[in-house]
Structure 1
Amino acid sequence: MTTQLKPTLGTLHLWGIAVGLVISGEYFGWSYGWGVAGTLGFLVTSLMVATLYTCFIFSFTELTTAIPHAGGPFAYSRRAFGEKGGLIAGLATLIEFVFAPPAIALAIGAYLNVQWPALDPRHAALGAYIVFMLLNILGVQLAATFELVVCILAVIELLVFMGVVAPGFSVSNFVANGWAGDNTFSLGAVGGMFAAIPFAIWFFLAIEGAAMAAEEAKDPKRTIPKAYISGILTLVLLAVGVMFFAGGVGDWRALANINDPLPQAMKIVVGEGSGWLHMLVWIGLFGLVASFHGIILGYSRQCFALARAGYLPRGLAKLSRFQTPHRAIIAGGVVGIAAIYSDGLINLGGMSLTAAMITMAVFGAIVMYIMSMLSLFKLRRSEPNLERSFRAPGYPIVPGIALVLAVVCLVAMAWFNALIGLIFLAFMVVGFLYFLLTGAARARAPADAMLTGV
């Protein structure tokens, strides 16, 4: 059985994957942060999170280029801390990448619902899963080329959005009622800022997923740093621009807690019948599709790598005749579709299903960020001679900032999202129990020098 992925991706493809994985976060999801923190409070939270991601990416790139493995964080943590370290990072990453797509799929449904109000967003989400799982199965180069095209269109569309709504922008609109609580910078406002962390992270969530295409990258030690650094700069600029312009066109409170804030913001400026609005809805779908499609690629590679190493059932590592992990793609899709249709089955304490899935994905991401930064520090000590074509700038300060901010985010999220945190912990415990019962499968797994360093 073939279990090796083929290198076919260049720098531009990797940039498209890195930005495309994330760019749906500029279209929806982040506005829930306004609902708990206000515009000014959420701006502070977003700048803190942007600092976290910038420091993280500059540090994470060292690991990705030194260990270009489809398992990404799983591979780095296993090499640094052994099997249990790899398990924690691998499961956390898998949770992040499996629960982000259903949230995006529901947003795709919400955008289509603007055009066809009778369409159930869940059925549209199901259709999106079927189409893009199939596209991923047909080959990584085809998938990555499609990702690049829709990513470029999505970036252009965000710039068009800013340009169209700019005449209606007012600073006074943006700052009005800008703090949570009593509308002043107070203890309540600070609490709101911490509660908004998952939605600020959604602006950047999953950029690290490009690491999971590292085995399929041409000359990863050169192409990955270029893709990551240009990618994070692209996303920071877009996030700040979208948030400012959307918040300044009217009463931003009407845009909080909805899945389509950009069309609704544009509607305030140009009116419901404008061609600009219909263009945003249709072309705006490219941003959602880019992330949805890219994260399917990401979760399938993480699932594939865990199965290949014996952490998940071996059959999930089987490759199709197109050299893609088709079983892993389908398995993650089944979980995501089940999540979409689970609305109402669990009492989420008033939280919407979309917000809950975003929060679940962010829990996985933050745990993975912590494990990755710890792995960076550990490997610097335990393997000083490991070839590092890219070294984290400002070491140890820059990765240290990323680690501290990630820990702060995790503590805040556990405090404000205890129920989702417990569900996340339950998934991790189930994964650990499976790990304890399957030692023989890991012993039979093929040797992988990148995981062991030998």
Structure 2
Amino acid sequence: MTMDEATAAKPAAAQDYLAKRTLRSGTAGWLLLAGLGVSYVISGDFSGWNFGVAEGGFGGLLIAFVLIAGMYLAMVLGMAELSAALPAAGGGYTFARRALGPWGGFATGTAVLLEYAIAPAAIATFIGAYVESLNLFGITDGWWVYLAVYALFIGIHLAGAGEALKAMFVITAIALAGLLLFAVSAWGLFDAGKLTDIPADPDAFGSSAFLPFGVFGIWAAVPFAIWFFLAVEGVPLAAEEAREPEKNVPKGIIISMLVLLVTGAAVLFLATGAFGAQAISTSGNPLVEALGDGAAAKAVNYIGLAGLVASFFSIVYAYSRQTFALSRAGYLPTSLSITNARKAPVLALIVPGVVGFALSLTGKGAMLLNMAVFGAAVSYVLMMVSHIVLRVREPGMPRPYRTPGGVMTTAFALVIACGAVIATFLVDPAAAGWTLAAFCGFMVYFALYSRHRLVASSPDEEFAVLARAEAELE
């Protein structure tokens, strides 16, 4: 083959490569994207957050909630700008790739992937607790539940994004109705005295009825406050499957964040006030136990199961798109990004699912929660740094949406995110340490192998090429 023939063949080869790795575009408008953002997170309202009461008491978790809510709101505003400017399936990895180069991009993508691969395993254990409390099918051993939800929902995702997103939206609407039913029922049981029924630890610095474990308890409660919002940042992963992503992705992620602020605050106050801080701190299904044994409790139990399923379902979508984007660009084995006739990435759905199922067999929801939060917090640090770097280095980059407050907004989120990374080691050093080890293992793989095999024709790498070309022209 002559040089001219080789040059002519390259575009065709690139087109063929990408043709096998194409998602279905135009599937989602802002309403489906907002529903996706809520569905990612809504399981956090039904279970998991309450373990933070055991770490900081109601007061510690409340203060942590306010801080983390501020961080997420600031971060979402920053990501809205980035997703409008760089709409691609890589989400945070795409943003960091443009701002921080291949190393920063892969580090961010790896942290996000760890978050999304581990979070469904934690949610599966909570689903198992709800199923057992309902005595469904006589199941008393959770692993059957874990296997069933992984197999069922991966199978639905293989049918295509449009079908999956619409199913997620319906399940999420049911879960929101369940939260409304819970709020109405819990209001009549609310007793402000129950919020502070954990005895103060006299040896803890700054302890009181409001902060029974002292000031330190606030920090220890941070990972569980994050569970109220964990994964809302995944909305930009749907950018390539959205209509007018530069408009609809920012709108979807901001609306979903506002909804989650309301639901999280309502659950924190009403569930703790109805059941008591001491009792709720160890509950596997806190909303149900807070309502007692009546008809409302049973209804919330069934609907709570829908809420957990919604998040499980949607985060499976998220990990598949993150795996797809990293694979398509060559950071992970390229076979993981091949899509089927329905434009669903087959191995990107199955391989992380197998890993997540194996982790769910530990049955330790709180530990898995902390591991997922570690990955999330690391990715938040890197994404906020990316926003700041791009604002400084590329002020002229087209930005259909601009973050209110600019770099000051994302700098605030950056500081809180750094504290959140440290907080995961305070709660469970072993879990955070193992997740850090997995993160380092991915980086070694990149250093020794995949950084030499990046695919220049992938959208994320093309963003970087365009940025370099623009810089040279200037």
What are the residue-to-residue correspondences of 1:195-206 with 2, within 5 Å? 195-206=220-231
Out of 213, 218, 240, the position equivalent to 1:193 is 218
- Which of the residues 431, 443, 446 maps onto 2:457? 446
The aligned amino acid for 1:239 is: G
Aligned match of 1:221: 246
Contact 2:80–2:401 (CA under 8 A) maintained in structure 1: yes
**Whole-Å separation in 2 of the counterparts to 1:299 and 1:10:** 21
Distance 2:171 2:199 in 1: 34
Contact 1:50/1:236 (8 A) holds in 2 = yes
SS at match of 1:92: helix
- Determine the C-alpha separation between the residues in 2 that align with 1:447 and 1:88: 18
Q: CA deviation at 1:10?
A: 0.7
- How far is the alpha carbon of 1:171 from its aligned partner? 1.1
For the residue of structure 2 that corresponds to 1:404, the secondary structure is helix
Task: Identify unmatched segments of 5+ residues in structure 1.
Answer: 344-352
Confirm or deny: 8 A CA contact 2:117 2:355 kept in the other structure.
yes
What do the CA deviations read for 1:41-87 (whole angstroms, capped 9, x no partner)? 11111111111111111111111111111111111111111110011
Q: Secondary structure at the match of 1:70?
A: coil
How far the C-alpha of 1:428 sits from its partner, in A, is: 1.3
The CA deviation at 1:240 is 0.5
Matched, 1:155 2:180: no
Contact 2:55–2:213 (CA under 8 A) maintained in structure 1? no
- Alpha carbons 1:93, 1:365 under 8 Å: kept: yes
Residue 106 (structure 1) aligned with residue 119 (structure 2): no
1:142 aligns with 2:163: yes
1:246 aligns with 2:264: no
Q: How many residues align?
A: 440
Please say if residues 89 and 368 of structure 1, whose CA atoms lie closer than 8 Å, have aligned partners that are also in contact: yes
Asked whether the equivalents of residues 275 and 289 of structure 2 are also in contact (C-alpha less than 8 Å), the reply is: no
Amino acid at match of 2:153: F
Alignment match of 1:375 (pick from 382, 386, 403):
386
Deviations 1:353-377 (A, max 9, x none): 1111111111111111111111011
Q: Is the 8 A contact 1:38 1:178 kept in 2?
A: no
Aligned pair partner of 1:129 in 131, 150, 156: 150
Which of residues 216, 237, 240 is equivalent to 2:262? 237
SS in 1 for 2:146: helix
Distance 2:424 2:106 in 1: 22
Query: Which of 359, 376, 387 in structure 2 is aligned with 1:339?
Result: 359
Provide the C-alpha distance between the structure 1 equivalents of 2:68 and 2:458, rounded to a whole number of angstroms: 38
One of 308, 318, 328 as aligned partner of 1:308 = 328
Q: Say if 2:288 and 2:300, in contact at 8 Å, map to a contact too.
A: yes
Q: Which residues in structure 2 correspond to 1:111-122 (within 5 Å)?
A: 111-116=130-135, 118-122=139-143
Structure 2 equivalent of residue 27 of structure 1: 46
- Answer whether contact 2:196 2:277 (CA < 8 A) is retained: no
Q: Is the 8 A contact 2:198 2:212 kept in 1?
A: no
Residues 38 and 179 of structure 1 are in contact (CA less than 8 Å); yes or no, is this contact kept in structure 2? no
Whether contact under 8 Å (2:24, 2:161) holds in the other structure is no
More divergent stretch after superposition (275-284 vs 81-90): 275-284
Partner-residue secondary structure (3-state), 1:453: helix
The residue number in structure 2 matching 1:284 is 304
Does the residue aligned with 1:9 lie in a helix, a strand or coil? coil
Amino acid aligned to 1:29: G
| 1:46 paired residue number | 65
RMSD: 1.7
Q: 1:179 to 1:6 in 2, by over 3 A?
A: farther
CA-to-partner distance for each residue in 1:66-125, whole Å, 9 max, x for gaps?
111111111111111111001110100000000000111111111110111643122112
Is the 2:59–2:211 Cα contact (8 Å) retained in structure 1?
A: no
For residues 275-308 of structure 1, the C-alpha deviation after alignment (integer angstroms, 9 at most, x for no partner) is: 2222111122111111000000000000001111
- Change in Cα spacing, 1:338 to 1:153, as seen in structure 2 (3 Å) is same
| TM-score after normalising by structure 1 | 0.93
When residues 317 and 397 of structure 1 are mapped into structure 2, their CA distance, relative to the original with a 3 A threshold, is same
Report what 1:323 is aligned to.
Answer: 343
Name the SS for the 1:295 alignment partner.
helix
In structure 2, what is the Cα distance between the partners aligned to 1:28 and 1:144?
23
CA shift in 2, pair 1:332/1:247, >3 Å: same
1:420 match: 431
User: Are 2:14 and 1:3 aligned?
Assistant: no
1:55 aligns with 2:44: no
Distance 1:179 1:453, change over 3 A: farther
Which of these residues, 163, 166, 188, is aligned with residue 167 of structure 1?
188
Q: Do the aligned partners of residues 215 and 200 (structure 1) sit closer, same or farther apart at CA in structure 2, a change above 3 Å counting?
A: same
Quickly say closer, same or farther: Cα 1:57–1:280, change in 2 above 3 A: same
Pair 1:401-2:420 in alignment: no
Q: Is the 8 A contact 2:32 2:165 kept in 1?
A: yes
The AA in structure 2 aligned to 1:401 is F
- How big is the shift at 1:416? 3.9
Q: Which amino acid aligns with 2:185?
A: V
Give the secondary structure class of the aligned counterpart of 1:69.
coil
| Aligned-partner Cα distance in 2 for 1:190–1:71 | 38
Q: TM-score, normalised by structure 2?
A: 0.89
